[in-house]
Structure 1
Amino acid sequence: MPLNKTLSVLLLSLISGGALAAEAGTAFIALPGKAMLADAVRLAATVTAIDPATRTLTLQGDNGQARQVVAGPEVRNFAQIKVGDRVEVRLLESLSLELKKGGAGVRTRVDSVEAARAEDGSAPAGALARSTTVLADVIKVDAKTHSIELKGVSRKLKLKIDNPEQLKQIQVGDQIKGTYIDALGISVTPQPAK
């Protein structure tokens, strides 16, 4: 199984079971012709049991809930994980929008994926980042509904623009560049020596 699928399966099993205690934060920034929204979540748990034969970890969140997770063969350095180690998952989602005056007609979409995992011999860890960047034409501006309509490479999309000052800047024939990123990182921190 590829690393990005392994990380996704592990993450979904941790979140869906509610085993990890979560901390979250959201940020929104708006400047003339630009806006960005980012959401970050940190999940943490302690390894309470390990079954090396099945590569199953029992993780207990700070909230007391426990969850079993199977670490597939793609997880390097599994043998280094010990009871008492901390597992941390960090998630980041962001969306940035930028107004491009004029230039309508050339629409694009670029998808990319980057993944990394721990080197042999180091603490178990992995990261995955996916991004999509779209350049879309503004084909309609509706001041009454505070919205714009965009035409991308393969579909149309209607966006609500709550800020009247931002909406005033947008005209038919402009373009909007949008970049969506979602990333996750998983790491294991050994328990301190006693």
Structure 2
Amino acid sequence: MKNHYLISAVVLTVSLLTACSSAPKPGDTVIEQQVIESNTITATAVIVGIDKENRAVTIEHSNRLTTLYVSPQLTHFSELEVGDIVKTQFTESVALHVQAHDGSARLQSSGDLDTSTKGGGISASEKTEIIADILAIDKENNTVTVKGPQGSEMMLPVEQHPEYLEKISVGDQVVVTYTKAVVISIEEQK
């Protein structure tokens, strides 16, 4: 009789360990990241102003002015002149994934600047992540209720992949990543 209980205890322990090892760890991805929107605009612009003291360059394209602050890492800054033609490429994208809960809802930002582009150009990007907690899942109406970093709650429709509702759980987190990137290169004057 004792052996029967011992075998049952071993089977139960192995089952629990197997279940624990397959459960997602905090921050593990539950649903892989998908880009839900992306847009890139390439244009030629002209430098219309330079503020050498503040290391700022103002460019104009389609009657629109944009001021860019240039890092001290860009060594070619002193060579820029009003009237120089620059090629710009602006990209914005929004991506979404679901992860196992890894802390409270929050907003995170990071940036990157690369001045090693060919021709002394600039490449910069900024990434903002909004991490919201999943409070409720309504599979009948294909909606998810989330709570954002400031405590506000929103009910979101799940239109594109309602089958994903089977993979997520209350307590998981939705991570929305908004990325802005710009590449500016100096065109040779002709």
> Normalized against structure 1, the TM-score is what?
0.56
Percent same amino acid among aligned pairs?
10
The superposition leaves residues 138-183 of structure 1 with CA deviations (integer Å, 9 ceiling, x where unpaired) of 3222233210112344232222112331123334x34024041322
Q: State the number of aligned residues.
A: 150
Q: Does 1:155 align with 2:152?
A: yes
The superposition leaves residues 58-108 of structure 1 with CA deviations (integer Å, 9 ceiling, x where unpaired) of 645xxxx455556668796153347463321322222222253xx6x9424
Match of 1:41 in 2: 40
Structure 1 CA distance for aligned equivalents of residues 66 and 152 of structure 2: 39
Amino acid at match of 1:90: F
Q: Is the 8 A contact 2:130 2:148 kept in 1?
A: no
1:111-126 matches, cutoff 5 A: 111-116=108-113, 118=115, 123-126=120-123
Seen in structure 2, the aligned counterparts of structure 1 residues 68 and 131 have a Cα distance that, compared at 3 Å, is closer
Q: Is the 8 A contact 2:49 2:82 kept in 1?
A: no
Match of 2:15 in 1: none
Match of 1:18 in 2: none
Seen in structure 2, the aligned counterparts of structure 1 residues 142 and 45 have a Cα distance that, compared at 3 Å, is same
Q: Is the 8 A contact 2:50 2:82 kept in 1?
A: no
Q: Does 1:95 align with 2:91?
A: no
Match of 1:165 in 2: 163
**C-alpha RMSD of matched pairs (Å):** 3.8
Amino acid at match of 1:151: K
1:143 corresponds, among 128, 139, 142, to 139
Q: Is the 8 A contact 2:60 2:66 kept in 1?
A: yes
Q: Does 1:187 align with 2:171?
A: no
Larger Rg over CA atoms: 2
